[in-house]
Amino acid sequence: MNRIKAWWGKNKKKTIAVIITEILTGFFLSFLVNANFGTDPASFLSLAVNARTGIAFGTLQLSLNAVLFAPMLIFSRTRYLGVGTIANMTLIGYSSDLNRFVMSRIFPVDFFTHLPVRIVFLIIGLTGFIICCAIYMNLSVGLAPYDSIPNIIRDYTHLPFTPVRMCWDFLFIVLGMIVGGRLPHVGNVLMALFLGPTVSFVDRHFFRKIRN
């Protein structure tokens, strides 16, 4: 009990921050899904499976990370394991499902068929999603298995993080195309191109200054 209290006292702010960040990530992801211009690569794959099977998106996101959980532990042990791991695996997908349900009750049925609306939702969703992901990855309280693999590859190969992350993301876009047979939209490409650089940028210009 004393250890738990000590850990909570030391990590309380980061834990609350990562939980809020992951819920917001799911919120912005629901914007991207409704805009239908593409999502992050992992969600792209899950949505392709969802379209074929009808399994809830949140459940598919959790399942994807559960599959990657074993290699994460094998190759990094507990290095990238933490509260952020569980928060990312469980909160983003189900938060997105909840927000999409709420929006379906607020907006008219044809609301997301209008191009200007879709573009606005794409811009807001893409910006918010990437920033939230960059913050969560730099909080250093654990990574989701999907996010940890590029870091593990970087650790073993000593290659720069940004190109490794971009290649990893593009791999899941290809897998999504194989599963769903659908060409990626502009959102998928922008996410794969800018997520890695944004993570590095936030670390370099914000979190590294705090640590120093």
For residue 210, pLDDT over 80 is answered with no
Query: Within 13 A of 193's CA, how many CA atoms are on the CB side?
Result: 9
Q: What is the pLDDT of residue 212?
A: 45
Residue 99 binned pLDDT confidence (cut-offs 50, 70, 90): very high
For residue 211, pLDDT over 50 is answered with no
Which pair of structure tokens corresponds to residue 79?
């290095």
pLDDT tens column, 100-115:
999 999 999 899 989 9
Q: What is the pLDDT of residue 73?
A: 92
Mean of the per-residue pLDDT values for the chain?
A: 86
- As a residue count, the chain comes to 212
Phi and psi, residue 116, nearest 5°: -60, -40
Tell me, yes or no, if the pTM score tops 0.75. yes
